């Protein structure tokens, strides 16, 4: 996996993992992030992922996203403005490859819980499990 692809994949996996960790029932107010993660895909936030002061990283993430959409590893959604990406949905293969490279840096239980809580990610769980290699602890 190319460095830029892996960098973006790590951001997407982290968002899904955090979503899996959250007890969403404890949030009385449905934030746009929670709604997006539940119904649409991973909210596309390259400025947040790159940190505010790192414009070059932000542009690298935007260009990488565009490239991955073109080759079919990401699906791009534009909900509010037709020209702006609001959410992305990664393929099972892209997520499986990223998780395999992350090894034990990702909590697979939280990651799969995040996918299971989302309408868009539930169908990705089985294909990802089929493609995953065991991590250093032997978990699939």
pLDDT in tens, 18-58: 999 987 656 666 688 899 999 999 999 998 888 777 889 99
DSSP line for 6-70: HHHHHHHHHHHHHHHHS-GGG-SS--HHHHHHHHT-EE--HHHHH-TT-HHHHHHHHHHHHHHHH
Q: Write down the mean pLDDT value for the chain.
A: 91
Taking the C-alpha atoms of residue 86 and residue 79, their distance in angstroms, rounded to an integer, is 6
Tens digit of each residue's pLDDT (9 = 90 or more) over 58-72: 999 999 999 999 999
Q: Tokens representing 6?
A: 């892996």
**In this model, does residue 74 exceed pLDDT 90?**
yes
Q: What local confidence, expressed as pLDDT, does residue 48 receive?
A: 87
Report how far apart, in Å, the C-alpha atoms of 77 and of each of 49, 66, 135 are: 18, 12, 32
């Amino acid at each position: 996996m190319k460095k830029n692809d892996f960098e973006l994949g790590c951001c997407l996996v982290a968002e899904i993992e955090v979503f899996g960790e959250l007890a969403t029932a404890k949030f009385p107010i449905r934030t746009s992030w929670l709604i997006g993660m539940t119904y649409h895909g991973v909210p596309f936030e390259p400025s947040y992922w790159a940190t505010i002061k790192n414009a070059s990283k932000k542009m690298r993430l935007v260009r990488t996203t565009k490239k991955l959409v073109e080759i079919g590893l990401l699906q791009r959604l534009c909900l509010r403005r037709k020209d702006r990406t609001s959410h992305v949905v990664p393929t099972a293969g892209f997520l499986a490859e990223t998780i395999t490279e992350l090894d034990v840096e990702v909590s697979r239980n939280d990651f799969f819980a995040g996918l299971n809580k989302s309408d868009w990610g539930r169908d990705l769980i089985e294909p990802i499990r089929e493609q995953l290699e065991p991590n250093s602890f032997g978990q699939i």
